[in-house]
A and B are shown apart, each in its own frame.
Chain A
Amino acid sequence: MTRRVAVTGIGIVAPDGIGVPAFWDLLSNGRTATRGITFFDPAGLRSRIAAECDFDPAVHGLDAEQIARCDRYIQFALVAGEEAIRDSGLDLAVENPWRVGVSLGTAVGGTTRLEHDYVLVSDRGKRWDVDHREAGPHLHRAFSPSTLASTVAERFEARGPVQTVSTGCTSGLDAVGYAFHTIEEGRADVCITGASDSPISPITMACFDAIKATSPNNDDPAHASRPFDADRNGFVMGEGGAVLVLEELEHALARGAHVYCEISGYATFGNAYHMTGLTSEGLEMARAIEDALDQARLDGTAIDYVNAHGSGTQQNDRHETAAVKQALGAHAYDTPMSSIKSMVGHSLGAIGAIELVACALALTHQVVPPTANYETPDPECDLDYVPRVARERRLNSVLSVGSGFGGFQSAVILNLPREKTR
């Protein structure tokens, strides 16, 4: 018998969207959270804009020790995790801890602290033979991203399968996808899943500058992220974290939990083409969508909304449009497809999980979030991108897709439980 997987709790730390109510307020009103970088002096960079979180960990319940020990991206995950667990109503004290897992994604992990301490030990880049005596006491926790899942598992006393997933910009979708399969295959009953990244630091901004992947719209940060618009010129860096509580459906129903939606399909493939380049056809992403639909036992015509990767680079938005048309056929033209990166930027590994929370909320509110800043159509991107204004719509099944460095293409299907179909 197939085990079904429910989403019973969500939590989020996003730019101008800390906590689910604030996040949904941002999305449903089509506001943007992109601005000039304030975390450091970005002079000299080509892209000097980002979607930053005004996040004070103390305000959100972390104690002094947690704040000192945990990198910013882990703080995001802890805060989002608290919200998600509270929201789920799960009493972890009565759960069998060996049946509770953690699967969290991150693309760049502890880079911000790695860079911070590097500057100290290298005398600002002057020494190859770095001086260990200048390093901070928690540097080893930034060395490997395994700290992310480990810290969250310790906080919630999970003892089942615990893993950090790091597939670049598809990390969020993949981490949730792994969690979905973990429960479906019977290796856990509950999984705390999601993703987190805090990449707004000189080294990460500089390395995307070097390949001109980020937008140079420094003069108008609020309108800089322009997915699918003809005038798009790169993504705007973001940061944040999102956590979803996944639960075997019967387990959730038995305790009377609120079920946001089910996750019913997940697939990922490589394009085997280029680490950063994309084909114009998008066949591998199409294949991921088709495989996810098969798992969900859904036809493409059942998809009511596509939550796009929509990074706002020229090649991505063309690639993705082609992939969705390939997978959904003519139905693609009747299906709204939007990119919330227009509002919250692209937080690398975190964004996939943030987008899945957006999908769960879209299903809950029966509202499609818009693509902010969309003004000028691009003939090569000819789908319905939900320009600027959120739209009410009957939503039963939604698709979220992601694409990332390494050539990875991932797709996740979420749907209202068939018993609750609208």
Chain B
Amino acid sequence: MSEPHPRRAAVTGIGVVAPNGTSTDTFWKSTREGISVLDRVTRAGCAHLPLRVAGEVRDFDPQSAVEERYLVQTDRFTHFAMAAADQALDDARLGRPDTDAAPFSVGVVTAAGSGGGEFGQRELQQLWDKGSRFVGPYQSIAWFYAASTGQISIRYGFKGPCGVIASDEAGGLDALAHAARAVRRGTDVMVAGATEAPLAPYSMVCQLGYEELSTVEDPERAYRPFTASACGFVPAEGGAMLVVEAETSARERGAPVRATLAGHAATFTGASRWTQSREGLAEAVRGALHEAACAPEEIDVVFADALGVPEADRAEALAIADALGTHGRRVPVTAPKTAVGRGYSAAPVLDVAAAVLAMEHGLIPPTPNVFDVCHDLDLVTTRARAAELHTALVLSRGLMGSNSALVLRLGATDAS
């Protein structure tokens, strides 16, 4: 078992590009108010597909967020990542002058589930319609899963450990945990998170085989986890990047510590074996609590995975009860992602951003479109709930069978 770590990993910056807000402020305002932005898919070439509802990022202008030379060689998912990283670094008050002197002290880790799908479809079209000579020089670096990590490292001059977790949804939490471990091993700062852009026509076609996908056409009814009318999940694009920093480093430069990544664990119970995910998720929660030296009763709020598949919802409700005991029936649970959909590996990172903001504001955001909860959970619905929040638990499960849990603590730990 892991021992408590002397070099604690803190969150000192947050950047968000989400369907319900392309800055942390707008994201939080919309999340807090429980405004659902799920809507009919409007992207070119998708109208005929039997996947009608998604969380699209609509008020994002790549040209204003990313320099031209990066724009031409990157896909939309990397545009999101660069914009979110920019915001997070600004938020952490980390600029090039701070990091240029010690480039190896800053690393980058992202999770990526689907890579640069739109860019890839364009180049596939060039190849098959016109011929191999029409494939552009950037296909090799825009489509692959490591594009965002590499481009962020280059754009800011970060030479620290670079990583890419290409796992399923839960990989988003695993990437943050990877950053926390890099910090414990001696790196001062990690820019960490995930963004996805899976809404190009061919990417959409690729997802149609997921039996958990919602095909309901009414945006208000398409993604309703924990209800009797749960009918699957709705995909989304966007995501979040965080600055994960050694608490000591933050203290030295006088940067506020917003939260600490206190504990994490990951397990695996098999693709689409949702009943078994109960045991796997509970085991992940127990592992995360252990690493955080956190008693179940200390958890003030749970950000649920909330897949929206009845069997999976039941497994998650039971896992919370299994791992937290009687406290599991009292602790407030929320799933703000019903407002925006599930952006694959980006979804739990957005939840972590929301959890930090919730703790800071003493306000649990609600679960939009969910009213009639059919599980033994105190799910926060309809409107935000005021509460004193010191510790949050974020859960994630992936379609390929991973379960992951992360414990966050508000603010800095004692200097002792």
Contacts and interface: CB of A to CB of B under 8 A. Distances in A.
A209 interface: yes
Given A154-B271, A269-B161, A405-B150, A125 B133 contact: no
A154 B136 contact: no
Given A129-B46, A146-B168, A165-B164, A108 B144 contact: yes
B165 A209 contact: no
Contacts of B95: none
B266 A161 contact: yes
B2 A187 contact: yes
Contacts of A166: 112, 144-146, 164-166
A104 to B, nearest CB: 10
A270 B167 CA distance: 21
Contact of B137 (A178, A211, A269): A211
Interface in B185-216: 201-210
A137 B209 contact: yes
Interface in B109-165: 112-114, 120-121, 123-133, 135-137, 139-141, 143-147, 149-151, 153-154, 156-165
Contact of A206 (B132, B141, B166, B269): B132
B373 interface: no
A203 B121 CA distance: 11
A273 interface: yes
Nearest to B151: A275
B60 interface: no
Contacts of A377: none
Contacts of A142: 206
B411 interface: no
Interface in B208-236: 208-210
Interface string B19-58: 0000000000000000000000000111111100000000
Interface stretch (A116-124, A228-236, A250-258, A394-402): A116-124
Nearest to B158: A272
A162 interface: yes
B125 A270 contact: no
Most buried by B among A45, A167, A276: A167
B160 A270 contact: yes
Interface string A340-365: 00000000000000000000000000
A347 B83 CA distance: 33
Contacts of B150: 168, 270, 275, 405-408
A132 interface: yes
Contact of B181 (A168, A185, A206): A185
B1 interface: yes
A143 B129 contact: no
B280 interface: yes
Nearest to A115: B124
Given A143-B203, A405-B140, A128 B45 contact: yes
Interface in A150-184: 150, 153-154, 158-168, 174, 178, 181
Interface string A259-288: 000000001111111111000000010010
A129 B103 CA distance: 44
B124 A163 contact: no
B266 A162 contact: yes
Interface in A265-323: 267-276, 284, 287
27 contacts: A44-B131, A109-B166, A132-B49, A132-B205, A140-B207, A140-B208, A144-B114, A146-B400, A161-B267, A162-B266, A162-B268, A163-B174, A168-B150, A207-B135, A210-B135, A269-B162, A270-B153, A272-B157, A275-B151, A276-B140, A287-B104, A405-B140, A405-B146, A406-B146, A406-B150, A406-B153, A408-B146
A126 interface: yes
A98 interface: yes
Contact of B162 (A107, A125, A268): A268
Given A271-B159, A275-B151, A106 B166 contact: yes
A11 B136 CA distance: 37
B132 A209 contact: yes
B270 interface: yes
Interface residues of A, number: 81
B153 to A, nearest CB: 4
A406 B208 CA distance: 31
B108 interface: yes
Contacts of B128: 118-119, 122, 124-125
B402 interface: yes
Interface string B164-185: 1111100100100010010000
A89 interface: no
A152 to B, nearest CB: 10
Most buried by B among A168, A213, A273: A168
Contacts of B204: 132
A151 B30 CA distance: 38
A144 B123 contact: no
A102 interface: yes
Contacts of A209: 132, 135
B80 interface: no
A209 to B, nearest CB: 6
Contacts of A18: none
Interface in A63-113: 98, 102, 106-109
Given A128-B201, A130-B121, A202-B127, 7 more contacts: A125-B127, A144-B400, A160-B268, A166-B146, A187-B2, A203-B123, A267-B161
Contacts of B125: 122, 125, 128
A139 interface: yes
A286 B399 CA distance: 39
B275 interface: no
Contacts of A200: none
A353 to B, nearest CB: 15
A404 B204 CA distance: 29
B159 A114 contact: no
Contacts of B107: 269-270
The 4 closest A-B pairs by CB, nearest first: A406-B150, A125-B128, A140-B209, A125-B129
A286 to B, nearest CB: 11
A215 interface: no
A145 interface: yes
B344 interface: yes
B401 A273 contact: no
B382 interface: no
Contacts of B137: 210-211
Contacts of A102: 268
Nearest to A132: B205
Contacts of A109: 145, 166
Nearest to B279: A159
A149 interface: yes
Contacts of A276: 140-141
A148 B2 CA distance: 27
